[in-house]
Structure 1
């Protein structure tokens, strides 16, 4: 028996009552929506109630007349087949007509998505009420744009093809497919908005569906994820609107038909259903995407990614906490790392026949004191690894001169160490001392690719995240593997200093 989808009752609720999560910057005292609404009416475009609510948030202004989101941007986590391209496209067209000389950049991750968006916006440009204001539509790979008679323009392209680099004086940026937006791509484009010429400031849209696990693990979803986290922490410069089904929703697996509960969840996730998105569109999307992707892209459900986002499994890491060796047992290997702020961490690793144990042994800012400690703790036989690209490399020549067996670490060494720590954590053959500094570093660590064969290391690009304790014990694990197991030499004493 096929269950027909229930019909939703007409109503005009608040956006916060229908959307799964809404965060609005508290500084808003007015909105530019009325002027945009009137322009859209002239163009024969009318929004649904939920689109009006989003537009009011997007165009909200503070007491100084600036957009409240000009610093943090507007995040839209919305499933497919909802009409977010129509919503944002209509807003951008209206603003381009209202503000002569606007430059807007619309970037997607994939070339196909960029081309499809460009085709839809060409449809806008051909509308009878809009066409008289269009100067020309530029076709051609990598040069697609819509240019207005008043000097405004909208340019389209794919980030995968390098689109977005080298622009300046940009007033509006749309990051489509924001669930595939690594920090490096953002770094290429954000400086372009620094020369925005509009008195209200620049507008930045980040819109997409919840990211897939592979995108999370590869670090491609970091911008969208961190933006969402910032909104949940009530970031005063960021707006976030998220539509989605309940977190515990599991769609009925194919090929079985969708049930009444499925349709209820779809109605929660998709505010355009059934008025603008028919049943057939939902069923077509479900069939094409499959069960797993439909949950993300069709129902808007974010995966639980806090543990997955760190390259070291958090649950298994917690389970592997254990006491280490006796205080006077010299470590098999030592690792040293230093943060952007020159906070130093020294890690140690002890190898047994089939297991390893790591701990942070020394921490502080005093480089001279750290060197003295390492000289005493390592002696002339225990290998000490320091990444050649770390700020801690300034200690390498001094330690060598003092007779310490220093191993300058390479990218390959880092990749090997990260692989060892991750795999041995999963196999429960690596234990640690449950130290807060190392635990916090594990939680804040992010993955970056090393080479093209699947190797990876910890991302050091964010100076606000102190990962040096994790890097230090990881390097210690590599150093220990070079020397081998079974060490019983006495050491001067195991010390953990505070700063």
Structure 2
């Protein structure tokens, strides 16, 4: 953690995620100096953002044509935008800057804040030739430079057509977690006719609806956009698969995690305030709003892990599982859905997996109250070898109750589950020289789960990513657990080697 000021912890001044294009220079230092002359005193992290985002190529154009900034509220993101907009009016060469916000009140507040900075700085105010305060048309015009030219800053509230017809050298999309593809279609073309354009998307952690912000985040993580500058302050938080003593991810209740996700900690946010938020907010809300853990959409549509052809090649609609059977249970992170699955050999050398059901309805249903009675019913009817439950997931709440009913429960470790994910994948998409060893009946919930699944890295292994999946993947997790359990109960112990003496 950074050095404390006055005995209080200070937020990390460098982002957890940084992707930036090569540059030969940067206008960031000059922009910081101008901001200071207007009464702004950028923190080190704010200076870093300006330096990275305003990097220049050898020909003087921006190294990044697109800038993404994700940081939680109250950390000082607005001051960065004010510094850039002051520079566009009074320092840099662009002629039009557009500042767009999701709500009118937010757009108006941004306009009022920059007007206050200008009005309290006579050396800047003397260049202002016009201020427009009409509702929805707020803007500032400046006449300066050599030769003197008009510079304009417009403030717009985003609508489906908001920004259409305006040609801007820089477009700033604040509250970008609410920025839609339709709004992007209206705003992005405003840059096309400019010689040196730059688009900024800024906001806090996104949701499944944050498609545009999610796209540039994915591009940064994949390293696929050489003209993108992306910075994110967040934690790499524990997931449902993590044990209580997990050392691989950031805990949600530590000062170090608060510092990692909030560069303004100890400067304009206190750890006591964050503790109060954690006590009053829902867990998922606190993760998103204060620790930067977004419920990001999955870019690339579907079939990102197991390809569609390989999955459909394993369909066998007449296959049936035989003893020994193993059942498994999984629950979504928000407990909205649960799923029960089964795995068993089909007599043809294949492991058969499917979602259980009663002939009318599959055991993939809303809520969780039905799970224990249904598992107990299946246990008494089929006498399986075991029921697998990941004790570190939401389904772990069933373990004690099931065992009290006489159900034999297997609980894999996180590493065993990750190994099970790899084995499940290999049974569908085998390595060269091997053959597939699993079949299914193409049940819609399971196929949908496989199509929308993502994976997350775990050191030298990987596991299904329940938090960031685009769809409910509880059916996939359940059959993976069942397959792991089936392998465990059917493995034959190795014979002890016969000694040649004694």
> 1:197-243 CA distances to partner (integer Å, 9 max, x unpaired)?
5xxx112111111113xxx1xxx311111101111111211111000
Tell me: CA distance 1:280–1:94, structure 2 relative to 1, closer, same or farther (3 Å).
farther
Select the residue among 19, 24, 32 that pairs with 1:23: 19
TM-score for the superposition, normalised by structure 2: 0.54
1:299 aligns with 2:291: yes
Q: Give the corresponding residue for 1:188.
A: 186
1:140 aligns with 2:134: yes
Number of residue pairs the alignment of both structures matches: 316
Tell me: CA distance 1:288–1:66, structure 2 relative to 1, closer, same or farther (3 Å).
farther
Q: Give the corresponding residue for 2:163.
A: 164
1:442 Cα offset (Å):
5.8
1:277 aligns with 2:269: yes
Select the residue among 63, 69, 73 that pairs with 1:76: 69
1:36 aligns with 2:31: yes
Q: Give the corresponding residue for 1:361.
A: none
**Unaligned runs of at least 5 residues, structure 1:** 251-258, 327-352, 357-427, 445-499
Tell me: CA distance 1:288–1:98, structure 2 relative to 1, closer, same or farther (3 Å).
farther
Q: Give the corresponding residue for 2:228.
A: 238
Tell me: CA distance 1:280–1:135, structure 2 relative to 1, closer, same or farther (3 Å).
farther
Using the alignment, how far apart are the partners of 1:122 and 1:294 within structure 2?
A: 33
Give the SS at the match of 2:131.
strand
Using the alignment, how far apart are the partners of 1:115 and 1:266 within structure 2?
A: 30
1:51 aligns with 2:46: yes
Tell me: CA distance 1:122–1:43, structure 2 relative to 1, closer, same or farther (3 Å).
closer
Assess if the C-alpha contact under 8 Å between 2:132 and 2:138 holds in 1: yes
Give the SS at the match of 2:229.
strand
Assess if the C-alpha contact under 8 Å between 2:99 and 2:155 holds in 1: yes
1:325 Cα offset (Å):
5.1
**Unaligned runs of at least 5 residues, structure 2:** 145-149, 241-250, 319-358, 363-439, 455-502
Tell me: CA distance 1:305–1:7, structure 2 relative to 1, closer, same or farther (3 Å).
farther
1:79-118 mapped onto 2 (5 Å cutoff): 79-99=72-92, 102-118=95-111
Tell me: CA distance 1:289–1:127, structure 2 relative to 1, closer, same or farther (3 Å).
farther
Give the SS at the match of 1:275.
coil
Tell me: CA distance 1:139–1:176, structure 2 relative to 1, closer, same or farther (3 Å).
same
Assess if the C-alpha contact under 8 Å between 1:107 and 1:158 holds in 2: yes
Tell me: CA distance 1:31–1:303, structure 2 relative to 1, closer, same or farther (3 Å).
same
Give the SS at the match of 1:179.
helix
Using the alignment, how far apart are the partners of 1:287 and 1:161 within structure 2?
A: 38
1:351-362 mapped onto 2 (5 Å cutoff): none
Tell me: CA distance 1:313–1:45, structure 2 relative to 1, closer, same or farther (3 Å).
closer
1:275 Cα offset (Å):
1.5
> 1:111-150 CA distances to partner (integer Å, 9 max, x unpaired)?
2322232232232232234333323332122211122233
RMSD of aligned C-alpha atoms? Answer: 4.2
Give the SS at the match of 1:160.
coil
Q: Give the corresponding residue for 1:431.
A: 443
Assess if the C-alpha contact under 8 Å between 1:320 and 1:431 holds in 2: no
TM-score for the superposition, normalised by structure 1: 0.54
Using the alignment, how far apart are the partners of 2:190 and 2:203 within structure 1?
A: 22
1:111-126 mapped onto 2 (5 Å cutoff): 111-126=104-119
Assess if the C-alpha contact under 8 Å between 2:31 and 2:83 holds in 1: no
1:263 Cα offset (Å):
3.1
